[in-house]
A and B are shown apart, each in its own frame.
Chain A
């Protein structure tokens, strides 16, 4: 039913203004099922603002967002039922255990056969032995895995991951990336991914968008983009864009 290539997310003409400041300015992009799209940019570029608008906790000043073809502005609850997220700045309540957190969020997302789903994910992310441990005392790596389990509870068709591997060691990061890539390959969902780790982005993402000062400056294949713009690597391109965003013209402009 949800084939690779169909749209999980469509953002059109997104803008968010705070007074005279435009945190996000006329941003349009799409995420297809089976695709991992990297949203890159320096701190304050507008990545998290964009993600917050997709999550429905921030209303755009202009533009529209469709998740699975459902306009989040008109049918917020229906649209959000198809999505989920994990973000470093939104840790789960530390005074609930791993299992209690998953049950709480599973009920919020109205997940069918919740217990079975929790057990499957706990086993998949190697958290079974921590089920009765309070989330607040987990290591940062374990908390990240828990956040990912929570994000997968409702089998989302759009997954938003804001620096999901920021606190993981290289081995754990590799495992997580592998799982997420395999999820995307099966065409189950489209993934919007932010990260400051350019190696990870190049390794994981099918497509990237560079954001600076609230605008998408570049978009394309992370392996091809550096060469197209005369940079030796994605990291070098990132640094150049972060320091001199206007020096690199947007493609097609």
Chain B
């Protein structure tokens, strides 16, 4: 793999943001709104509950983590959609760039854009609502790693889906985080869910992060082995998603779909 084609994909996104600052707004605005909304809900719940539960840490922390995961996924898919929207596939895929370089470029873009969102969320959550994020200590690293890897996996998977099904299938991508959230136990323990949903939840790496986070916030212990399972699952999904993207790319080259890729061609 070479660095320059990877940098090209990330640089393109930077150019677009620089020439059109409106593109930066969604990276900041939605996460800011989410944190403000949930921050006030947490503050209200802290005021009315008599059991001493810290809703700021559990609710706001969960929103922050979930939004970070969502931003990583969207950062990857948005970089891919630039090629869909500008009908740039022939130019890009007829270049000597390797598919692995293309995927790394998408991931680099996702990293950069999601970090912007994370910083904004951290500033608002700590400055306005007093979220003690640093209290999680070094655990933050594996938490963010799991969410980051799973965001990449879903971003690449969603891109593969749009490559295969056509531009109109973009609308199937946006609801994916919302569809997964009930199973991931973002706001409640997995034990709350019926058995079949719990089973699905255990296949989702973020569920291990949220279970561990709640345990730490409640002053309890958590299983490092469980968190390691989350890391391993997320890494496995990244590999599977990249393999699927490469397989679908090969299919589109074989079938002629890539050469004829055009708007609204869901097949």
Interface of A with B (CB < 8 Å)? 16, 18, 49, 52, 55-59, 76-78, 80-81, 85, 87, 89-97, 100, 103-105, 107-110, 134, 150
Point out the residue from B5, B87, B258 that lies within 8 Å of A57, measured CB to CB. B258
Listed in ascending order, the chain B residues whose CB lies under 8 Å from chain A are 2, 4-5, 7-8, 11-12, 15-16, 19-20, 82, 86-98, 253-254, 256, 258-259
Question: CA A11 – CA B259 in complex, angstroms?
Answer: 19
Main secondary structure of the interface of B (DSSP, over half): helix
> Is B90 a contact partner of A95 (Cβ separation < 8 A)?
no
Query: Are B15's CB and A110's CB within 8 A?
Result: no
**Interface residues of A, dominant DSSP:** mixed
A-B contact pairs, 16 of them (CB 8 A): A56-B94, A57-B93, A58-B256, A58-B258, A77-B97, A77-B98, A80-B95, A80-B96, A90-B94, A93-B86, A94-B86, A95-B16, A96-B16, A100-B15, A107-B5, A109-B96
Question: Given A58-B258, A59-B253, A77-B97, are A110 and B86 neighbors across the interface (CB < 8 Å)?
Answer: no
Nearest B-chain residue to A23, judged by Cβ: B256
Chain A residue with Cβ nearest B2: A110
A105 touches B95 (CB 8 A): yes
Q: How many A-B pairs fall under 8 Å by CB?
A: 90
Q: Which residue of B lies closest to A78 (CB)?
A: B96
Contact of A52 with B5 in the complex, beta carbons under 8 Å: no
Q: Given A55-B94, A85-B94 in contact, is the A107-B11 Cβ separation under 8 Å?
A: yes
Tell me the complex Cα distance, A107–B7, Å: 7
Contact A80:B15 (CB < 8 A) given known A59-B254, A93-B86, A95-B20: no
Task: Write out the residue numbers on chain B whose beta carbons fall within 8 Å of the beta carbon of A91.
Answer: 87
Q: Closest chain A residue to B18 by CB distance?
A: A100
Residue ID in chain A nearest B20 by CB atoms: A95
CB atoms of B11 and A103 under 8 A apart: yes
A-B CB proximity, top 3 nearest: A107-B8, A93-B86, A55-B94
**Which residues of chain A are near B11, meaning CB under 8 Å?**
103-104, 107
**Contact: A57 with B4, CB < 8 Å?**
no
Complex Cα–Cα for A110 and B95 (A) = 10
Chain B min CB distance to A218 (Å): 26
CB of A81 within 8 A of CB of B7, answer no
User: Is there contact, CB below 8 Å, between A97 and B19?
Assistant: yes
Q: Which residues of B contact A95 (CB under 8 A)?
A: 16, 19-20, 86
The interface residues of chain B lying within 8 Å CB-to-CB of A58 are 253, 256, 258-259
B15 surroundings in chain A (CB, below 8 A): 96-97, 100, 104
